[in-house]
Amino acid sequence: MDIYASDPKGSDKDRVELARIAIAENGGQIIGANAQDKERRDDIKRKHEQRAFLERVTELQKRLRDPAYNAAWIAAGNAIDRAQAAIDQAYEDAEIQREALERNAATLEDGRLVFVRDDGLGETQSGEVISAPDMAKAHVPDNATTIEQWREYQKTIKTLGDNSDALDKMRTKRTDPNDPPSLEDLEDMMKKAEALENAPAQTVLSGQVTSDISALMTQNADAPKPL
């Protein structure tokens, strides 16, 4: 009688089970041949997965042992962090601009903000064109925010978003354990990040937005008192 048979039949079944229990109680294994084979396969698979994972992680660690690569890897990370900080600051500056643009925008009878156009029409934040008769009923402050100024602000926000996305891609590539960047990739990454670090200020200033905002923020102030 094979007590390790995977599927004992008939009267042997109970005897086989008792024999297995007895072996287990004496330090043996209470498993059949198929179960043993499955355990071996699972163990081999588990070791293979662990080895593959370690090999992926080790590829980046192996490169980081090279002093030149390690220095470039750290420098690229620092450049990315500085660029992100500059973009975050530009977002804060753009928020101040948005508030100023909206504060000096024309207002329709229903309370919606509208930006004036050169053709006498208006345009809302959502892009709806407002007719001349409706604009005639709107409250339009002196030197009201123009649609060009609003579009310049929207362009700024989009550019900042694109720059931030580019930094995210750099971060992903830089820390890829399976396919880490080459030394040349890191140097290129650092140059691009440094360029993006300076880009936000130029973007926010483009189209004379800053000077326009300064005028908008002061034009409604109280008139100077006579000396």
* Residue 223: per-residue pLDDT: 41
* Residue 45: per-residue pLDDT: 75
Rg, C-alpha atoms of the chain = 35
What average pLDDT values come out for the chain (227 residues) when binned by 10 residues? Answer: 51 62 56 63 76 66 92 96 94 93 95 95 95 95 94 93 95 91 96 90 52 50 42
pTM of this prediction exceeds 0.75: no
CA 144 to chain centre: 36
Name the one residue in this structure whose structure tokens are 């470039």: 72
- In sequence order, which ranges of 107-182 are alpha helices (DSSP H)? 132-137, 147-174
* Residue 178: per-residue pLDDT: 81
- In sequence order, which ranges of the chain are alpha helices (DSSP H)? 12-25, 33-64, 67-103, 132-137, 147-174, 183-205, 209-218
Distance, in Å, from the CA atom of 153 to the CA atom of 120, rounded to the nearest integer, reads 21
Residue 76's nearest CA partner among 197, 178, 199 is: 197
